[in-house]
Amino acid sequence: MNRRGVQLLSLVLSDFRNLEQVQLRPSAHTTVAFGHNGQGKTNLLEAVYFLATLKPLRSSKLVELIRFGVDQAQVLGRFAIEGTSREISVRLQPGLRQAFVDGKRTQNLDEYFGSVSVVSFTPDDLAVVKGGPDQRRRFLDRAVFNRYPVFLKESRNYTIALKSRNRLLREGADLSYLDVYDEALATSGARIWCRREKLLREMAPRTEQAFGAIARISSPLRCSYVRTGLSGDEGSTEAELAEALKQGLRIRLPKDTERGFTSIGPHTDDLEFSFGEYPARSFGSQGQQRALVLAWKIAEIENLRDANGLLPLLLLDDVSSELDRARNDYLMNYLAGTGAQVFLTTTDPALVVRATGPDTVWYEVEGGSVNLAPAPPQALISSPAK
């Protein structure tokens, strides 16, 4: 496997969530943050994720990322990217988010997101199969953003137009005012469809193959994208999809006017998984559903490696405690062999020891303090084979 990738050389946090002042020098391979629940392990991982994506790892308002009682937070990281060094940082104040590249403030998201990609894996992801369509859309869109960083701007344009159209519908405004928003929705919506469907064409075969290796069931996994309320061939062009969406908006206008919201478009779609002919959300066991999500994450890692020539940073937040032994062992062995830089959190170091090596760096997190720990913390590892 190609072992080239982005490497985080150092991380400095100030007043991020419950973390007051933190300085880390992570391992080039595996860094483990361990400790009891509620001490700040996830916050540490979220800081890395936020630095790479400008978005919280968990659903929350940006102001909630600032430590209670202060008015500013900052995350700064120095990265090695194909032999060059780059410093990126984000400063947060209530109502304000500023991004910097090598000390200079940037408004160019392409410049900011041009080099660093990150794949995260959290316990919330394990519930995505049984969750609602909105959870699966977010799950898919995180992968789309990793593959196409410009997707953040594209999806934001769609959201702005959607909120404006919905406001006019609720206010009973003159329907002629909707034309400009219908055009904007159709253009940006078609682009979102094309991004999502192209990503899924890349990801689906990899996910299905990985699932077969992990789950070992006879029924094959199938991944499909479902446009709600809109027909159209999988090979439709972006222009054709835009025209189809405009027509759909016109047809549904009476219903949308009555209800006060837009009922067709990418914001209503779904990502569906099935085992053979049977929907995974209804017929899959908990273990099979978790194997599916694990397979998706592995497919995303490998797809980014092949598309960009670089391995992403890998962030895993206490996932091992949610997996059975066989699937956890599979994941840990996979991580050990990727060559990617991995950040793990856990309440039990024994669960992640298979993914570690002699250069693993261990940090203990307690009450918002992050301190270097023995490598490995043997007193806390009851049995490496657990």
Q: What is the pLDDT of residues 281-311, one digit of tens each?
A: 999 899 999 999 999 999 999 999 999 888 8
Q: Which CATH architecture has domain 126-309?
A: Up-down Bundle (1.20)
Per-residue pLDDT, 384: 45
The 8-class DSSP code of residue 8 comes to E
**CB within 8 A of 109, min separation 6: which ones?**
54, 149, 150, 152, 153
Orientation of helix 178-215 relative to helix 133-147, angle to 10°: 90
**Residues shown for the chain:** 386
Give the CA distances from residue 55 to residues 59, 74, 112, 320, in Å, rounded to whole numbers and listed in that order: 9, 14, 13, 24
Per-residue pLDDT, 383: 46
Which residue numbers in the chain have pLDDT < 50?
Answer: 1-3, 379, 383-386
Per-residue pLDDT, 178: 92
Per-residue pLDDT, 208: 94
> How far apart, in Å, do the first and last CA atoms of the chain sit?
28
Residues of the chain with CATH 3.40.50.300: 1-117+310-386
Per-residue pLDDT, 109: 65
Per-residue pLDDT, 361: 95
Per-residue pLDDT, 114: 61
Q: CATH 3.40.50.2300: does it fit domain 1-117+310-386?
A: no
SS3 329: helix
SS3 385: coil
Per-residue pLDDT, 236: 85
SS3 222: strand
